[in-house]
Amino acid sequence: MTLPLNPVTRGDLRSRLASPKVLWVLRLYVAALGVLAVFSLPPEGGRVPAFAETELAQLFLLFQLGWVAYLTSALAAGEIGVEGEKGVLDLAVTSFSSQTIASGKLWTAVLSAGGLVLLSVPLVILVTPALAAAPGVLRALAVMVPLAAPLAVVAAWLPAAVPSDVLRTVVHWSIFLALFAATRWLPEPWILVNPMRIVAAAYGGAPAAWPLALGPYLAAAALGWILIDRAVRAWRRESRL
Amino acid sequence: MAMPLLFALGGVLLIVGLPLWFAVGDGAAAAAPFVTAEIRLGYAGYVVPDVWMPATAVLRSDRNLEGVLEVAAPHPRSSRAARVRAEVHLEASVPRAVTIPAVIRDLRAPIVLRLIEAGRPVAEWRAAVPPGRVVDAIILTLSDRPVGLDRLLPTESRVRIAYVGPDSLPVRFQLYEGVQAVVVHTLDDRRVTPTQLEALSGWVAAGGHLILVVPPGSDLLTRASLRAFLQRDPRAPAPPAAPARVHPWGRGAVTVVPIDPFRPDLSPEGAAVWRRVLSRETPAPLVERTLLDALPQSGGASALVQLLIVLTLGGYLVALRPLTAWSQRGRGGVVLSLALLGAVTAAAVALAAVARTQMTTLIQGAVAEGLPQRDLARVEALGRVVLPQGGTFALRTSGETLVRPLGEADTSLRLGGAVELDGRAAATLSVQGSALISLPVQGSIHVQGEEVTVEIRNRAGRSLRDPVVVHNGRIQPIAVVGAEARVTLAPEAWRDPPPLEVARGVRARLLAWTFGRLRAGAIIDPTIDVTAFLVAWLEEERGVLRWRGPPAPLLLVVPLIGRGDSP
C-alpha cells in the first residue's frame, strides 16, 4: 500500500529519504538545533546579560527557520544534489503533465519543509519556556512551512531557467539573502514581510496583523508553480520543433 | 491552474480569518462608576523613591463589594510593573481606607490602582507624585501644632517634615523605610492600634529613631503606648544635645527631648539641641545589595539531567536512520516513523519537565539579624530567581513579609500570601524580602585580657548549628549552644575568616560575606556596646522567601553585648 501522493512528489521524497547525503544533512540539522537547544536552557541564558534580554526560544525558532528555508530550497535547486531525484527538465521528458510536475514540486517543497519542522519538535520542546508559550511556538513552527515552501518552489524552477551551476547558486543565494536580509531595511509596515519578523510575530502574537504578511509568500508559491508549468511547456514546445 | 486557485483561496482565508481569530478575546473590562476613591501617596504627600511607601485609597462603594485592590507601580525603563494586592471588603456607602505598600520607582509615570471583583477590574484610578514632593527622607511628626519643625532642618536638606495624624502611622515596619525619625509631640493613645505600635517598635528596634517631645509640664511619657519604649536606662548624648536623654531600643534609639521645638520663641540653644537630635544617622543595615553579588550566579539542572538530555539528543541522531528508512515503507512505515518520533518527543517532554523543575530555582541569601535586648530578629533575604523565559514563579511569604523586585520584572505580591514573578523580561530576577520575626536569642561577651567568655541564652526552641564567635574581625567556632551556655574561648584558636573569593556554594558564600560585613564593623552602632557577634545557622528554615524547593539556609547574626573591659 502506498500513500496517495503526487507521483513526482513520491519520487522526490523516495530519493531524498534513501539518500545517505540527505541523512547526513538531517543529522547536521538536528545536531545544530540540539546544541542550540541545550545552550538555550536556563541558567545559561541568565549568565549573559545580553542573552537575558533576548527571548532565547525566539532566537532558536529564527535559527531553525534559516535552516528549514535553506535546506528546503537547496534540495529543490539541486544545490544539495540528491541521487535519483529528478529536476524539472528531467521530468519534462516524462509523460507527466506540466501541471502534475508543478504541483509535484510544490508538494515536495511543502512536505520537505513540514518534515524538517516535524523533526525539530523534540528539540523545540526543550526550548519552549512554559506551557503558556506553547501556542506561540506552535504558530511559529506552523508558519515556517508557508515561508520555506514558496522559496523552494521557485528554487525548483531555477535549474530550468539557469543552466549554469555556479550562476544558479548565485541566483539562489541572492534570492535567499534578498528575502532574509534586504527585507530588514524595508520601512514599516512592509518590514513585516521579512520571514524572521513573521516568525517572531507568530511566536509573540503581535502585531496581530502578521498573517497578512503571508500573502506575498502564497503569491510566490503560485508564481513558482506557474514558472515550472511554463518552463515544462516551453521545453516540450521547443523539443517538438 | 487548480493549485494556484487553491492557494489564492487559502490565502484569502488566512488573511481574513487569522486576524479575526487574533482579535477575538481582547475585550477590556469597562470601569463601572459605582465606587469612588480618594488616593494618597506617601506621607502628607511626600514620597521617597525606591523604598516602601504607603499608597492609601479611601474607597466608597454604592454597594457591598468583596474584591482585591491592586497597586501597580511601573518600572522607569520598561513596561514591567510591581503589583501589590490586598483583599478589600466594602460595605455600601461606608468609606474604607486601605493602605497598600508600594515601591515608587518611576516618578514620571502614575501609580495605577485597580479594584478587582471576581477576577475582573471594576474601577481604575491613577495617582502621580506631585512636583516638589520627592524627597530623600521624611521625618514623621505627630503634633497638634503642625508647624515649626521645618526651620530646624538645613536649608539644603532634602529631608522633609510630614505632619501626620496617628491614623497615618504605618502598620508594617517596612513602611518606615523612607522615614528618618518619628517625632511625637502629642499623642492620643486611643487612636493608635497595637499593630501600629508593634510596627513602630519593630522599626526602632531595627535602627529607627523615635523622638519624644517632653517639655516641662508635658504628660506624654504617661501614655501607655510610649512607656514601653523607656525601659532601659537612658544615656546622655554628647553636647550640645545634652539635655536630651537617649534610651537604647534594639539597634535604634528613643530620644526624650525636654525642649518644645514648636514654640515660636525657641532659643538658639534649644534649636541646636534639636538640630543635633534630628541629625542622628540611621545605623547602616547589615544586609545590603552586595549580598546579591556574593550569591552564586545560577542554580541549573543537575549533571544527571544534563547528561540525559545530551544522551537523548545523541539517541535521536542515531534514530534518524531508521526514521528515514521506515518512512519509505508505505503507510505502515510512516506510522512506525511517527511512533519513533513520538517516543523521542515524549522523552524530551519528560526531560524538559524535570529540567525546568530543577532549573526554576531560588538562590537565596537570608540573614536574621538579632536585635540587641529585643527578642526580635530582622530577616533580610536577597534572592535570585532563575526561571525560563515566559515562565512564572511563585514564592510563598508570611503575612509580615514584603517582597519586591530589584530589577525589571513583572511581579505580583499578594499581601500575606505569595509573590508571582513573570519571566518575560529576563531569565534571572532579583528579589528582596524583609520581615521581623520573634527570635529570643541573646548573648553577651566578657573580655578580660586574653580571656574571652561568651554567654548565650537561646529561648527560641531551635538549636543553633555551627556557631562561630566573631570578635575584632577574627573568628572562633564554639561548641553547640544549648538553651543557656557559657563558653570560654581559647586565645590560640582565633583565626581569620575565609575570603569570599574562595567560597563555593550558597552557604559558604553567605557565611564568608557575613564575616566580611562584620569585620568591617558595618552594623556596630555607637549607642550600643557591641564588640562581637555570634554567627550560626538556624536549624529550622525561616527564610522569608520560600518556595517548593529545598529550604533556604537562614544565617543568624546575634550581637554580643560587651560586659567588662575590652582589650
pLDDT of B565 over the 60 cut: no
Note the pLDDT of residue A135. Answer: 87
Note the pLDDT of residue A52. Answer: 41
Q: Cα distance from B51 to chain A (closest Cα, Å)? A: 25
Q: Which residue from B minimizes the CA distance to A21?
A: B321
Least confident span in A122-126, B138-142, B175-179: A122-126
Handedness of CA B316, B322, B328, B332 (dihedral sign): negative
Percentage of residues in chain B with pLDDT exceeding 70?
A: 81
Q: Report which DSSP code applies to B284.
A: P
Give the pLDDT confidence of B26-56 residue by residue, as tens digits: 333 334 458 899 999 999 999 999 999 999 9
pLDDT of B19 over the 60 cut: no
Q: Which amino acid is at B152?
A: L
Percentage of residues in chain A with pLDDT exceeding 70?
A: 90
Q: Cα distance from B417 to chain A (closest Cα, Å)? A: 23
Please give the Cα distance from A136 to A43 (Å, whole number): 22
C-alpha cell at B206: 531595627
Give the mean pLDDT of B188-206: 91
Which candidate in B1, B77, B329, B389 is best for mutational testing of the A interface (most A CBs within 10 A)?
B389
pLDDT band for position A47 (cuts 50, 70, 90): very low
Exposure pattern of B157-184 as b/e (b: 16+ CB <10 Å)?
Answer: eebbbbbbebebbbbbbbbbbbbbbbbb
If one counts every other C-beta atom within 10 angstroms of the C-beta of residue B538, the result is: 23
Cβ separation of B428 and A133 shorter than 8 Å? Answer: no
Handedness of CA A97, A102, A108, A110 (dihedral sign): negative
pLDDT of B470 over the 50 cut: yes
What B505-512 contacts at long range (C-beta under 8 Å, 24+ apart), as own/partner pairs, is B505/B296, B506/B295, B506/B296, B506/B363, B506/B364, B506/B365, B506/B553, B507/B537, B507/B553, B509/B294, B509/B295, B509/B296, B509/B365, B510/B291, B510/B294, B510/B295, B510/B365, B510/B367, B510/B553, B510/B555, B511/B535, B511/B555, B512/B294
Give the pLDDT confidence of B251-308 residue by residue, as tens digits: 888 999 999 998 888 899 889 999 989 988 888 888 888 888 888 766 566 778 888 8
Note the pLDDT of residue B297. Answer: 67
Helix axes A98-119, A215-240, angle to 10 degrees: 140
Cβ separation of B341 and A119 shorter than 8 Å? Answer: yes
Give the pLDDT confidence of B112-129 residue by residue, as tens digits: 999 999 888 899 999 998
Least confident span in A96-100, B225-229, B246-250, B518-522: B518-522
Give the mean pLDDT of B474-488: 85
Cβ separation of A211 and B15 shorter than 8 Å? Answer: yes
Note the pLDDT of residue A34. Answer: 92
Give the pLDDT confidence of B142-164 residue by residue, as tens digits: 998 888 888 888 888 899 999 99
Give the mean pLDDT of B208-237: 84
Name the average pLDDT for chain A. 86
Please give the Cα distance from B300 to B379 (Å, whole number): 26
Give the pLDDT confidence of B380-395 residue by residue, as tens digits: 888 887 665 555 677 7
Three-state DSSP class for residue B278: helix
Name the average pLDDT for chain B. 82
Please give the Cα distance from B433 to B435 (Å, whole number): 7
pLDDT band for position A186 (cuts 50, 70, 90): confident
Least confident span in A6-15, A78-87, A173-182, B498-507: B498-507
Closest by CA position to B174, among listed B44, B51, B39: B51
Note the pLDDT of residue B287. Answer: 87
Q: Looking at the partner chain, which of B344, B359, B423 has a beta carbon nearest the beta carbon of A41? A: B359
pLDDT band for position A117 (cuts 50, 70, 90): very high
Cβ separation of B389 and A55 shorter than 8 Å? Answer: yes
Cβ separation of A133 and B390 shorter than 8 Å? Answer: yes
- Whether residue A192 contacts residue A210, with contact meaning beta carbons closer than 8 Å, is answered with yes
Q: Is B1 on the interface with A (CB under 8 A)?
A: yes
C-alpha cell at A154: 521557485
Give the mean pLDDT of B530-541: 80
Please give the Cα distance from A34 to B317 (Å, whole number): 10
Give the mean pLDDT of B202-228: 90
Q: What residues 273-332 of chain B have any CB closer than 8 A to a CB of chain A?
A: 297-301, 306, 309-310, 312-313, 316-317, 320-321, 324-325, 327-328, 330-332
Which candidate in A33, A97, A125 is best for mutational testing of the B interface (most B CBs within 10 A)?
A125
The residues, any chain, with a CB within 8 Å of residue B280's CB and separated by 6 or more, are B181, B209, B253, B255
Closest by CA position to B312, among listed A24, A126, A57, A20: A126
Q: Report which DSSP code applies to A131.
A: G
Note the pLDDT of residue B424. Answer: 55
Q: ∠ at Cα B234 (B229, B239), nearest 5°?
A: 125
Tell me whether strands B252-257 and B474-477 are parallel, antiparallel or unpaired.
unpaired
Note the pLDDT of residue A127. Answer: 81
- Whether residue A55 contacts residue B389, with contact meaning beta carbons closer than 8 Å, is answered with yes
pTM of the full structure = 0.64
Give the pLDDT confidence of B429-468 residue by residue, as tens digits: 788 888 888 889 988 888 887 888 999 998 888 788 899 9
Residues of A in contact with B4 (CB under 8 A): 222, 225-226
Q: Which residue from A minimizes the CA distance to B311?
A: A34
Note the pLDDT of residue B40. Answer: 92
Residues of B in contact with A2 (CB under 8 A): 330-331
Give the mean pLDDT of B399-422: 77
Cβ separation of A46 and B425 shorter than 8 Å? Answer: no
Residues of A in contact with B14 (CB under 8 A): 211, 214-215, 218
* Strand (E) or helix (H) holding A232: helix A215-240
| φ, ψ of residue A20 in degrees (nearest 5) | -60, -35
- Whether residue B557 contacts residue B515, with contact meaning beta carbons closer than 8 Å, is answered with no
Residues of B in contact with A21 (CB under 8 A): none
Return the higher-pLDDT residue of B199 and B500. Answer: B199
Q: What residues 510-539 of chain B have any CB closer than 8 A to a CB of chain A?
A: none
Give the mean pLDDT of B322-339: 88
Q: Which of A101-105, B306-310, B470-474, B486-490 has the highest mean pLDDT?
A: A101-105
Return the higher-pLDDT residue of B175 and B524. Answer: B175
Q: Cα distance from A166 to chain B (closest Cα, Å)? A: 30
Cβ separation of A47 and B297 shorter than 8 Å? Answer: yes
Q: Which of A63-67, B226-230, B323-327 has the highest mean pLDDT?
A: A63-67
pLDDT of A42 over the 60 cut: no
Least confident span in B163-167, B193-197, B501-505: B501-505
Three-state DSSP class for residue B512: helix
C-alpha cell at B324: 528515514
Cβ separation of B328 and A17 shorter than 8 Å? Answer: yes
Note the pLDDT of residue A173. Answer: 92
Cβ separation of B331 and A2 shorter than 8 Å? Answer: yes
Give the pLDDT confidence of A3-17 residue by residue, as tens digits: 578 899 999 998 999
Note the pLDDT of residue B564. Answer: 56
Please give the Cα distance from B421 to B385 (Å, whole number): 9
Return the higher-pLDDT residue of A241 and B191. Answer: B191
Q: Report which DSSP code applies to B33.
A: T
Cβ separation of B345 and A51 shorter than 8 Å? Answer: no
Closest by CA position to B549, among listed B237, B265, B301: B301
If one counts every other C-beta atom within 10 angstroms of the C-beta of residue A41, the result is: 22
pLDDT band for position B20 (cuts 50, 70, 90): very low
Three-state DSSP class for residue B264: coil
Give the mean pLDDT of B175-184: 94
Q: ∠ at Cα B353 (B348, B358), nearest 5°?
A: 125
Q: Cα distance from B313 to chain A (closest Cα, Å)? A: 7
Integer angstrom CA distances of residue B176 from A20, A123, B86, B138, B196:
72, 50, 19, 9, 11
Three-state DSSP class for residue B275: helix
Note the pLDDT of residue A100. Answer: 93
pLDDT of B534 over the 60 cut: yes
pLDDT band for position B169 (cuts 50, 70, 90): very high
* Strand (E) or helix (H) holding B562: strand B554-563
Q: Cα distance from B539 to chain A (closest Cα, Å)? A: 29
Least confident span in B125-129, B312-316, B357-361: B357-361
Residues of B in contact with A31 (CB under 8 A): 313, 317
Q: CB-side exposure of B6: number of CA atoms within 13 Å? A: 7
Return the higher-pLDDT residue of B418 and B282. Answer: B282
Cβ separation of B7 and A52 shorter than 8 Å? Answer: no
Return the higher-pLDDT residue of B146 and B169. Answer: B169
pLDDT of A237 over the 90 cut: no
Residues of B in contact with A106 (CB under 8 A): 3
